[in-house]
Structures are given as C-alpha cells and as structure tokens.
Structure 1
Amino acid sequence: MRRDYGVYLVTDQGLCLGRGLLEVVAEAVRGGASMVQLREKKCDTRDFVALARRLKALLGPLGVPLLINDRVDVALAAGADGVHVGQSDMHPADVRGLIGPEAIVGLSVECMEHVLQADALGVDYLGVGPVYATATKPDHSEPWGLEGLRRVRAASRLPMVAIGSVNAENAAQVMETGMDGLAVVSAICSAPSPEQAAGALRDIVNNALRAR
C-alpha cells in the first residue's frame, strides 16, 4: 500500500446527503483521494466490521489504504491497513503491538505538548487539528490556525495532515504551512460531486508539493 497523505478522506455517513458511503468513497478515490479513514461513532460493532470489510474490498485493489478510527478490534477483523487514534483512545504503543509493525498508525494532536511527545510514540503520521472551528467535531480543542500549523511543522518531521473545516477555498493556504496533506470530511462527503471535490483538492495538494 502506498502512503500518500495528500487527500485524506474521513468518512461520515450522516453527511453523505442520503447517498451510500461506498458510493461516496468510490467517487472520492476516482477524483484523487489517496487514503480513507472510516469513522463511525454511532455504528454497532457488527455493522462497523461489515462496513469496513466492504470498504477494504473496494479500496484494496486500488492500492488505497483503509484506516479505522479508534477501533483496533474492527481494524483487525476487517483486515484494514491501520488505525487512527486520538489522545483519549488506546495508547499508540498498544495499538502498534496489536496490529503489527507494517500497519499505519496515526495520532491526533491538539496542542504542542502532544506534538513534542509524538516522535517517541512510533506513529506514522499526525492529524493536526482543528485548523479552524468545525461543526463535525463540536467538542474540539482550540483551533490551531495557520500560524499554529507552521509551529507544528517546525517541531516535528513526521508526516502531517491538517483537519478541521479544510476545504477548496482555504486548502492552498493550509498546504503553504508545510502540511503533507489535507484530511477532510464534509468537503468531500457533502459535495454535490465527491469526485470533483476530491479532484480539486488533489490539484491544490499537488501544486503545493511541486512548489516546495
């Protein structure tokens, strides 16, 4: 599995405008989404595993990694490529011990202390957020803002994706801070055309990376 963090889709079935999640994900990948995190806070475990397996069957042949938010058990059952955890979830070292050295382990960071600790935790990338206040996670910490992203970039060499009200209008500014990619929810899930929305973000990411 290639590890391209450029357009990182975080799913939310409730934001898909009545469309099936697999349909939205398939469109997004056609447009340029390069990594998918399945985040389902209201799904029971059996349904979560079943959905994860269907997504893995879709994404595996395309070489697009599937990560599971928080639930290591679901990731193992579905054969997912990794797990993303937050500061109150299972410790990254325990995640790594369960899913193995080849899996992708991501960690959300909400303050500089988290960033400075992350290098010693054996994670593969950081999810830095929220960049801006976001309705998809109302209990979020203080937004980083663009200057905060620059400070985070200077503090760690780990790959980083920025999340939190990131969209095509502000994506170029976010990428200028040195981020490796954009993690988006509603900007793709709620777009009239997920394929076009992902494609627009992919163009912005590619242009920013080429300019470095």
Structure 2
Amino acid sequence: MHAGPGGIVVLTDRRVARRALVDVVAGAVGGGVRWVVLREKDLPRAERLALAVELRAILAEAGGTLVVAGPDPLDGDAVHLPAAGPYPPPAVGLVGRSCHDTAELARLTTEHYVTLSPVHETRTKPGYGPALRAAGLAALVKVSPVPVLALGGIETPAQVAACVEAGATGVAVLGAIMRAQDPTETATTLGRAFQEAATRHVTSPAHSGGGQP
C-alpha cells in the first residue's frame, strides 16, 4: 500500500465551502493537493458514496488518494478513524486516526498515521482544545509511533512552516481551502510553504545525522 498522507491534506466540509464541494476539491488538486479526507458524515451512505466516487475520479487523474472519515471505506481502501474507535482498526490498506494527547497515541495498534489536533483554535470546532501550538505538537510528534499530520486552525504559510519544523509529515487544512476565494491559489501557496519548510527541516544541522561524524 502507498505511504501515508503528506504535504497539504484537505479535509472536506460542504457546509463552509464557498462552492460545490467537488469544485473546491478539484481546485485544491489543481493546486497540488494529493490527499483529501472526505468527512460529510451526516450524509446518507448512498449520497456519501456518490460523492466519494466523484472525488476519487478527480484525485485519480492527479495520482492522489481519497481517505474516508469513519470505519466504512465507501468501497475504497483508506479510512480515518476518530480517537474513540473502533479498536482494533478495520483491515484496509491505509488507516489514520485522530489523536490529541499521549494517552491516545499510546492506544495505537496497526494505524499508519495520525492527525494531532488542535494545533491552533479553529473556527470549525471552537472550544476544542487546548491548542497544542508548535511546542505541544513537537512534543507529541516525538512520542508518536507513526507519521503525524498537524491539524486545526492552520491557515497561513507561516503556520504550515511551523508545523513542518515541529516534525509533521503533513498539514491538514479545512477552513483555509473550503473558505478560499481561489482554492487552487491557496493550495499552491500553502503547498509551497510546506515544501520550503520541509527542505529546510531536512537540511538543518539538528536533523542531519544526529550529530554523528
């Protein structure tokens, strides 16, 4: 199975999207996004499945992957689970889980990656916290057994860079893309910030060979 999500990862929310969800996702993919997490958990399965089929087609053209929030992969092979369960995870090709603290990280078994949230306060989930900030994110990245996506209130290139410097392998965004006037332009800008920070992170002395001669 492919490696877990990286770069800019888009979470969907049709209620805050400026345009039809499929159009917003297509715009983001045009701006370089290759990983999308389909939420929309309130939709009946048939509608959600139809949406998954549409989004998969958009991503497939770009070599991207759709991950479905919840244990039902909607005929796909990738899911993202809440911290509450189910445990153990379903046996599909790619499994992510939402985590918020060391206790939740300690419960991981066969998951391939986690989201850590909220990095900042968010408009989508106000009051969900406390915010980890870069320092809290970095501390949890160090103890996570799997790669980490930073999530929650990340909207600017500087915030993206700070998450990469804290050790995140990807940055999950919702509002920044869903609310964007131009999802392609926003995705491109955030993606560039991610790449630049990732390059700096890899070449910085603290991360080159761990001080070995």
Report the TM-score when normalising by structure 2: 0.87
Of 76, 84, 89 in structure 1, the residue corresponding to residue 85 of structure 2 is 89
Which residue does the alignment assign to 2:124? 136
Q: How many residues were matched structurally?
A: 199
Aligned partners of 2:55, 2:71: CA distance in 1, in Å?
A: 15
Which residue does the alignment assign to 2:138? 150
Which residue does the alignment assign to 1:14? 15
Which residue does the alignment assign to 1:57? 57
Opposite residue 59 of structure 1, the aligned amino acid is L
The structure having more radius of gyration, on CA atoms, is 2
In structure 2, relative to structure 1, the CA distance for the partners of 1:57 and 1:79 (3 Å cut) is farther
Of 96, 104, 113 in structure 1, the residue corresponding to residue 94 of structure 2 is 104
Of 188, 193, 201 in structure 2, the residue corresponding to residue 204 of structure 1 is 193
TM superposition shift of 1:165: 0.2
Give % identity. 29
> Would you say the 8 A contact 2:95–2:113 is kept in 1?
yes
Structure 1: unaligned runs, 5 residues or longer: none
1:41 aligns with 2:41: yes
TM superposition shift of 1:59: 1.5
Which residue does the alignment assign to 1:165? 153
TM superposition shift of 1:176: 1.3
**SS of the residue 1:14 aligns to:** coil
Aligned partners of 1:153, 1:3: CA distance in 2, in Å?
A: 15
RMSD of aligned alpha carbons: 1.6
1:181 aligns with 2:170: yes
TM superposition shift of 1:62: 2.0
TM superposition shift of 1:141: 3.6
Report the TM-score when normalising by structure 1: 0.87
**SS of the residue 2:56 aligns to:** helix
Could you report, residue by residue, the CA deviation over 1:51-109 in whole angstroms, capped at 9, with x for unpaired residues?
A: 1111112212321110001141xx2xx43230001112322x2412xx3xxx1100111
Which has the larger displacement, 141-150 or 1-10? 1-10
Opposite residue 61 of structure 1, the aligned amino acid is E
Segments ≥4 residues shifted beyond 3 Å: 1-4
> Would you say the 8 A contact 2:89–2:111 is kept in 1?
no
TM superposition shift of 1:161: 0.6
Structure 2: unaligned runs, 5 residues or longer: 203-213
> Would you say the 8 A contact 2:165–2:198 is kept in 1?
no
In structure 2, relative to structure 1, the CA distance for the partners of 1:161 and 1:80 (3 Å cut) is same
**SS of the residue 1:107 aligns to:** strand
